[in-house]
Chains A and B, each alone.
Chain A
Amino acid sequence: MALDIGPTPTSAPSTPVGAATSETRLARATLIALALGFVGLFLLLPLGTVFIEAFRKGAGEFLAALGDPETFSAILLTLTVAGIAVPLNLVFGVAAAWAIAKFEFKGKAFLTTLIDLPFSVSPVISGLVFVLLFGANSALGPILQSYGVQILFAVPGLVLATVFVTFPFVARELIPLMQEQGTSDEEAARSLGATGWQTFWHVTLPNIKWGLLYGVLLCNARAMGEFGAVSVVSGHIRGETNTMPLQVEILYNEYNFVAAFAVAALLALLALATLVLKTALELRYSDEIAASRRH
């Protein structure tokens, strides 16, 4: 039809544009459906199951399961271990990221690779490393034992294994951030007379605080949920060295499903709380986060 009246600039391009949008609309719908389906099938369904199983026999049973002395001590132990491991990794992570991002030194690339080691090594092997280091047949173990220091099958071993496994979270989050920010802010602070500590406290820390917070939250989630490495060094002493994930396994193996799922639900709840906290902070301080990312 356009042939008769010659090219009309307004009508001619309308068809391809329409086709293009309808195509993107279809693609968009497919992608959204796919993403939602995946999230539903692999995330929400299992998580929902955990809570349904936990409350299968009612809230009373649920609370009773958590009140069990062994379970209760597992909860306390998990909080203790995370409470020690996370602050340690906060300090280590900041120090490592600082060294890598702000200084030039030999072996920097090697150090960067080393930081990733806990991610690339299976957690079971991480645990075994500590057994080899501090076990009865090792060089260190008997010496420490003679001074009455118990590493393996005790809280120190659990903390060491957890620190090892969760080490990369804070450093990994901070290194790219600090590298991107460069050293000029610190140089500016020093040129204005600030001491090293003042520079860190007033300039570096505020610049990295959001990255640091994410790193700490992720580190914490993993510290509370770690199974493999902790399982190797724990020795599974009931009421003493079982953390929550280990306690879940024990209860499950004893066919005590309600109790197993109750602990699992609590663990999941802690993880969810972490996520909610992160999102809430992001919403609350979105302006500031955007500003700190900008130049």
Chain B
Amino acid sequence: MEVRVQNIRKEFGRYPALEDVSLDIRSGELVALLGPSGSGKTTLLRLIAGLESPTEGTIFFGDEDASKKSVQQRNIGFVFQHYALFRHMTVLDNVSFGLNVRPANRRPQAAEIRRRALDLLELVQLSGLEKRYPAQLSGGQRQRVALARAMAVEPNVLLLDEPFGALDAQVRKELRKWLREIHDRTGHTTVFVTHDQEEALELADRVVVMSKGAIEQVGTPDDIYDHPVSPFVYGFIGQSNCLDVTLSRGEIWFEDRPIGLRAASEPDGPATLYFRPHDIELVDGCGCLAGLVTAGRRVAGTRHLEVSLGRTQPPVEIELPPERASSTDHSRVAFRPTRWKLYRGAGDVARGSVQAQSSGIELAPTGT
């Protein structure tokens, strides 16, 4: 079911946990809420569920205003960070709970409930464990019981709070793939919270990046990674370097020299340049960024070099194929970003300043 969050504001006491948040979730979509700790991801999820009520704003489920409905009436499936399985019930009873507590006129027959619970357990690959108690399961198995329990009520929307947060890296990876498969098979509209960007980018149809109680950007994983709309998103998703630069007559200057990048339509003044470590090319001579390699480390197929551009500047990181990097250890390198982005606005990095120039491959004019 389609879920629309409109101008939601949520305060705890005087403290605003969410400010003017709006979000449209399409039917059948798998959406990730991504952001640093305390950015309001759980709060937004709980508001959609009806476990909290908004200070202001409305939430629509389809065309219906769900804001006035209680959590029971919204018919959602919620998977809690620590699963919240009923410890005195068997796995089967946990999964059947949502059907068993229905009023008699909407409750399926006992045999039907049992059959549906067993089907779900098969879907989450836990067949044969239905008589166990939660304490007798591994973390990953509990996670899957929690998911089966939430799906048993045929929810309008499935909400998961850090579903893999408590599991080790290996299990996380497996469950991630598996959740995607389940989603593709069942087609539930799903929202999950994570602070793991890799998880969000790999799993979700669309990613919602949050910061300080507001939504920074909503987009497909490619959008978010390739076209971040704010310095915060640029810095938060993937690795990035940022440099304080100056604009002068359409050219970007770093310290006392132009670096061969042009932003023709921009007025003069200070700005911040963002680029990713792998979006660079080595160049010869001047009209570029140059510095001393201070450290290098091998990361999988590439070599990461730390380059000091000057004593007053923080080092930047660049990524090169190992064969090109070997000759550069402890020596000077000259390079130029191939994809980059410029943000302006008095160093107000977290707020999302005016975007001065869309990113793109900007080739330096020759012979500067």
Contacts and interface: CB of A to CB of B under 8 A. Distances in A.
Contact of A192 (B70, B101, B133, B135): B101
A190 B153 CA distance: 12
A288 interface: yes
Interface residues of A, number: 21
B98 A288 contact: no
B86 A184 contact: no
Interface stretch (B73-81, B181-189, B347-355): B73-81
Contacts of B88: 206-207, 288, 291-292
B78 A291 contact: no
Interface of B is mostly: loop
A21 interface: no
Contact of B71 (A190, A207, A288, A292): A190
Contacts of A195: 72, 101
Contacts of A145: none
Nearest to A191: B78
A194 B78 CA distance: 13
A213 to B, nearest CB: 14
Contacts of B102: 193
Nearest to A198: B101
Given A193-B75, A195-B72, A294-B135, A188 B84 contact: yes
Given A185-B86, A294-B87, A191 B77 contact: yes
A180 B245 CA distance: 53
A129 interface: no
B51 A202 contact: no
Interface of A: 184-185, 187-195, 198, 202-203, 206-207, 288, 291-292, 294-295
Interface string B98-110: 1001100000000
The 7 A-B pairs with the shortest beta carbon distances in the complex, nearest first, are A192-B98, A184-B84, A188-B84, A191-B78, A194-B101, A206-B88, A291-B135
A207 B97 contact: no
A244 B23 CA distance: 69
Interface residues on B, range: 20 to 34
B101 A202 contact: yes
A184 B71 contact: no
15 contacts: A185-B84, A185-B86, A187-B78, A187-B84, A188-B84, A188-B85, A190-B71, A190-B72, A191-B77, A192-B97, A192-B101, A192-B150, A195-B72, A294-B87, A294-B135
B207 interface: no
Nearest to B106: A193
Contacts of B97: 189, 192, 194, 202
B82 interface: yes
B101 A188 contact: no
B51 A187 contact: yes
B149 interface: yes
Interface in B299-343: none
B49 interface: yes
B72 A188 contact: no
Contacts of B70: 190
B133 A291 contact: yes
Nearest to B133: A291
Nearest to A186: B84
A206 B50 CA distance: 25
B135 A187 contact: no
Given A184-B80, A189-B97, A195-B101, A291 B87 contact: yes
Contacts of A202: 86, 97, 101
B82 A192 contact: no
A206 B71 CA distance: 22
Contacts of A188: 78, 80, 84-86, 149
Q: Which of A193, A195, A294 gathers most chain B CB within 10 Å?
A: A193
A191 B101 contact: no
A295 B82 contact: yes
A190 B72 CA distance: 6
Given A190-B71, A193-B72, A195-B72, A203 B86 contact: yes
Contacts of A203: 86
Given A184-B80, A202-B101, A191 B87 contact: no
A270 B86 CA distance: 36
Contacts of A193: 72, 75, 98, 101-102, 153
Given A288-B88, A294-B87, 19 more contacts: A184-B84, A187-B51, A187-B78, A187-B80, A188-B84, A189-B97, A191-B49, A191-B78, A192-B150, A192-B152, A193-B75, A193-B102, A194-B72, A198-B101, A202-B86, A202-B101, A291-B135, A295-B87, A295-B135
